[in-house]
Amino acid sequence: MTANDATLSNACQTLDRVGAEFLTWLEDHSERVRQEKAGLTKEFRRLTAQARRLEQAVRRPMCAGVFGPSQSGKSYLIS
């Protein structure tokens, strides 16, 4: 993992943690946000899930997939 990957991974972990803390805050202070609670909860659950997926993707090595009928065309692209 490169330094950039580590930085991005840490940022994603921080975003996931902050999103989870905000969801806890929403539960504790639902009377303050009232009608907006459902929308905020949905949005921040989506945000934390995306941060987790991005963090997992950063840790995986990159690869490329080439699909198609022409063997020679794919070989030319890869080489």
Nearest CA to 24 among 39, 46, 45? 45
The CA distance from 54 to 50, in Å, is 6
State how many domains the chain has: 1
The whole-number average pLDDT for the span 45-55 is 94
Range of the domain at 29: 3-60
> CA 47, 51, 54: angle at the middle one, nearest 5?
135
- Note if the pTM is more than 0.85: no
- Which comes out higher in pLDDT, residue 75 or 56? 56
Q: Which two tokens stand for residue 3?
A: 């330094």
Asked if residue 70 has pLDDT above 80, the reply is no
